Structure 1
Amino acid sequence: MRCNYSYSDIQITDRPQTLLDGMRWYLDYLQDLVVEDFERKNLSQPYILEQKRFVERFKNTLESKGYLPDRMGFILSKKEVGLFHNFLIEKKYSAKTYNKHIVGIRTMYNAFMKEGYIDHNPFARVRMKYTVTNPDIIYEEELEKLFKIIRPENGHVQIGTTRKGKKNYYRAWLKDAILLALYTGERRDGVFLLQWRHVEENYLKIPNFKINRKQKVEDFHYVPITEDMAEFLMTLKRGNDDDYIIEPSHENRDTLKNQCSKSFSHFWSVAGFEKRKDFKALRKTLETRLWTMLGDKSKALKRHKNLSTTIDHYLGQEEILKELKGQKMFGFLHELNIPT
């Protein structure tokens, strides 16, 4: 039996009695179905679905070893915690994936503690696995080689032996998405949510999508439109203000985001680089370039977790916008933006 995505019978005042009830409560908790309005978290659907997978795997692990979550309480022994650890090890998940599973279940138990269902978290003592963060930037010669590789004939891959296993990771918009990420420093979410209305006279006024979604606010930051970014934007077909900049006709932005990540990784692999780099390295590349050009002043362009941003911060942004006007951040890039 799989955990229900929604357990609508639970009321806000109900207290789950078994571990299975707790799991069901938690999935509703993530969707804000069993909380008061002031407690809403406004989590994204992809995040909720990912947490659901972690919970289901935890439940299935217990059941595979003879435990019955519908008859168990919330408190777990070290042995029961160890069962999930052993499951993840046997699956040979990467350190990052292992950590995400543990953090997912640990977060569920933190929610139990917050509601007073338990007084300690049995997953608090599980050690995270060491992961190597990749702070690398993407260099000019790497981008040049990558853009030469991004062609339809290089996108083919065979997964398995059937005809259904044939895929092509080439997307006509991939180069544009890479360049927009490089010029703006946006994550994949931002790249595919940017609209033409965010383009002002000499800067992009970009919503802080993640903060705005979670906190129901309208916070934003500025990114200067340098000469080379302006040249890039001119190569794109300008739509209405509410049209997305990248692939405006595609309604499912999450699908585009996932395709982008997979396509980037595929072509990076085909290019034969010794070191793996992900799409997110483009974000670090912009930060490094701005630091080279502006030094400490570049800090004014960084996103701030505190929404009560100071006046000095905005004055710093205005000064930078003027200083960068007419300059090129990545002068070589206009040669790369050639349709294939």
Structure 2
Amino acid sequence: MSTASEMAQRLAREVEAVCRHYLPHGRREGRYWRVGDVHDTPGESLYIRLHGAATGKWADAATGEHGDLLDLIGLNRGLDRLAEVLDEARAFLGSPRALPEWHREPAAPVGSPEAARRLFARSRPLAGSLAETYLRNRGIPDVRKYGSLRFQPRCWYRDADDRLARGPALIAAVTGLNGGLTGVQRTWLDPSGGGKAAMPSPRRALGHLLGNGVRFGVARDVLAAGEGVETVLALRTILPALPMVAALSAGHLAALRLPPTLRRLYVARDNDDAGRRAAERLGRRAEALGIEALVLAPVLGDLNDDVLAFGQAALRAHLRAQLAPEDVARFWMGGGWRGGA
């Protein structure tokens, strides 16, 4: 049975036939086959080398994807397992070149909510992943219960030299008020799990973020909102029954859409000028809608910094004084913190 390397070499020897079969909307331009993307959308973003030492290698300038012809076939056919990709490649190499048209999922526009949905669907649960290790190292335990967070071991990005690369990333689902996924935030991680990857902008968004956020729990009358996922999850370690949302930036926090049933909003602000301005703007918007707005202020840069520096007990004591008394009884005690601070 052929190995993946041997199969990729066999495909490379028939690279133009591979292109004409899987990417018929493309065209030959000199040493390359040009097409819009791996799903055969018309365009020029993706190019496959037809000659030379790198024959069969391809890259998509718009998405950052790249690889060999096995990678291309797997993405084109929506195959997740190597065994399935190899079976497809063998079928191609052993069949006449004029094959019937296969049904393919329509291509998702680059940067669209559909592209975000596909990335989230291809990602894994947090259990046992590098993303789980990263969050635990940020002082956030019990992360496996959060369905809005997943792990992608090979997420595309451009490095400091603008070269295409892949690395492990925490994937956070961004949803609207109706629960529909509108985007994702990708946080690339250091392979040790001790922090974010050493790269330009290790956090990058995909899809539609404005007004939406990464949600933990379903908000009805009371909600807590903050900027970063780690900030909100640090707060959730103290108030696990309180619904929360991470807007992912100060600007997006200020523009967050609020549920029509909301009567009280807690804003877990960052301790900088942008964070203070965002909290003020969101608070004014909430109050104009008849929603009481209360600020949860950190001691250090944000609540995640606080829990790492001082521990959960100190953060509980710091936050309790900032909560409405009825919410202490409802969410504090309901979250399991009985007795003491």
TM-score, with length taken from structure 2: 0.26
Instruction: Work out which structure has the larger RCO, using CA pairs closer than 8 Å and 6 or more positions apart in sequence.
Output: 1
TM-score, with length taken from structure 1: 0.26
